């Protein structure tokens, strides 16, 4: 790779360090608002409001204590419940569908595949009114089940497309070999296919979890107190506690932490999930 002449290698090295600096600078600029949120969460309220931003301060856990005592717990639980159960539901529905669209494709698999993605293009606002009225008439307003059902529908198309892309990567020979060896369809699924696509399933569930955890529009309109999730808590927190940056940052940090961790873990698969399996 490195050119043989001395002068070029020196220029090469200089270029490289400029490259490194540039990349790091960009990374820090983009990450700064997040970093600042976390830092502010550990500040006393007085240190959050200074004309010259304070980078050095004595950290305190006061804000986190205040957030917990203001009752974030049930909201965190609601968010966790809605995300996890809706993800499981989406996967249970998506896995067989993805199978029928890849390994043993049904006749009009193209149409089915595009039906799924076209529902993603339908703006939520177009359906929110009847959904709201139906949920109200069923007495399911402010119920966690409502969010679970809707979040599963929101993530199902992504899960189908993504899982399908993982199924397509399973070498056909392996499945054929299993069939020749006399494996039943069920054995073929559980003993051969499933273990091979397990990493794919993990990645898909992380993507579904991220989207449901961050969802705001449906939660805002369909829940009020009992089933309200974390983003709804944040809105209420501002109205009830006032706009205190440090306390707010502590609440926001707690709200973002699970998804940040999940996203960092799944970053190799993130692009695949977001592009619904089109980009690997």
Interacting residues with other proteins between 63 and 122 (CB under 8 A): 93-94, 96-97, 99-107, 109, 112, 114-122
Biggest CA-to-CA distance, the chain: 79
Say how many residues touch other proteins, by CB under 8 A: 105
Applying CB under 8 A, among 10, 44, 199, 216 the residue interacting with other proteins is 216
Considering the complex, what minimum distance in angstroms separates the CB of residue 185 from other proteins? 8
Rule CB under 8 A: say whether 210 interacts with other proteins: yes
- Whether the CA torsion 269, 270, 275, 279 is positive or negative: it is negative
The tokens describing 102, both together, are: 């890849």
Of 8, 11, 13, 16, the residue at the interface with other proteins (CB under 8 A) is 16
Q: Which of 85, 249, 239 is nearest to 151 (CA)?
A: 85
> Which of 77, 134, 138, 191 is the binder for other proteins (CB under 8 A)?
134
What are the helix (H) ranges across the chain?
6-41, 45-48, 62-69, 73-100, 109-121, 125-137, 144-167, 172-180, 185-187, 194-214, 217-222, 230-241, 245-265, 267-274
Q: Choose the binding region for other proteins from 58-66, 125-133, 137-145, 197-205 (rule: CB under 8 A).
A: 125-133
Closer to other proteins by Cβ: residue 33 or 182: 33
C-beta of 31 vs 226, nearer to other proteins: 31
Q: Which stretch binds other proteins (CB under 8 A): 68-76, 80-88, 193-201, 227-235?
A: 227-235
Q: Crossing angle, helix 230-241 and helix 245-265, to 10 degrees?
A: 170
Site for other proteins in 135-174 (CB under 8 A): 149-150, 152-153, 156-157, 160, 168-173
**Range in contact with other proteins (rule: CB under 8 A) among 5-13, 62-70, 194-202, 214-222:** 214-222
Nearest to 252 by CA among 28, 42, 30: 42
Pick the stretch among 4-12, 62-70, 190-198, 228-236 that binds other proteins (CB under 8 A).
228-236
Nearer to other proteins, 7 or 126 (CB): 126
User: According to CB under 8 A, which residues from 238 to 267 bind other proteins?
Assistant: 238, 243, 245, 248-249, 252, 255-256, 259-260, 262-264, 267
First to last CA, the chain: 27
Mutual angle of helices 245-265 and 194-214, in 10-degree steps: 160
The set of residues, in sequence order, having a beta carbon less than 8 Å from that of 111 and lying 6+ positions away, is: none
Query: In whole angstroms, how close is the CB of 168 to other proteins at the nearest point?
Result: 5
């Amino acid at each position: 790779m490195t050119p043989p002449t001395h002068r070029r290698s020196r220029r090469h090295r200089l270029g490289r360090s400029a490259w490194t600096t540039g990349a790091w600078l960009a990374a820090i600029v983009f990450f700064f608002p997040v970093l600042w949120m976390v830092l502010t969460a550990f500040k006393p309220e007085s240190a959050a409001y200074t004309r010259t931003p304070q980078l050095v301060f004595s950290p305190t856990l006061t804000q986190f204590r205040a957030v917990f005592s203001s009752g974030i717990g049930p909201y965190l639980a609601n968010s966790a419940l809605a995300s996890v159960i809706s993800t499981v539901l989406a996967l249970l529905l998506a896995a067989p569908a993805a199978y029928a669209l890849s390994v043993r494709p049904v006749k009009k698999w193209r149409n089915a595949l595009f039906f799924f993605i076209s529902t993603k293009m339908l703006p939520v606002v177009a359906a929110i009114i009847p959904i709201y009225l139906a949920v109200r008439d069923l007495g399911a307003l402010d119920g966690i089940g409502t969010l679970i059902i809707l979040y599963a529908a929101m993530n199902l198309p992504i899960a189908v497309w993504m899982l399908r892309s993982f199924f397509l990567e399973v070498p056909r020979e392996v499945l054929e070999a299993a069939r020749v060896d006399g494996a039943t369809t069920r054995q073929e699924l559980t003993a051969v296919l499933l273990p091979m696509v397990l990493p794919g399933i993990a990645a898909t569930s992380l993507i579904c979890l991220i989207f449901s955890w961050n969802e705001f529009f449906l939660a805002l309109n369909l829940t009020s107190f009992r089933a309200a999730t974390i983003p709804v808590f944040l809105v209420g927190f501002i109205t009830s506690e006032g706009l205190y940056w440090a306390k707010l940052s502590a609440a926001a940090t707690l709200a973002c932490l699970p998804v940040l961790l999940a996203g960092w873990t799944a970053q190799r698969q993130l692009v695949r999930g977001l592009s619904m399996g089109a980009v690997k």
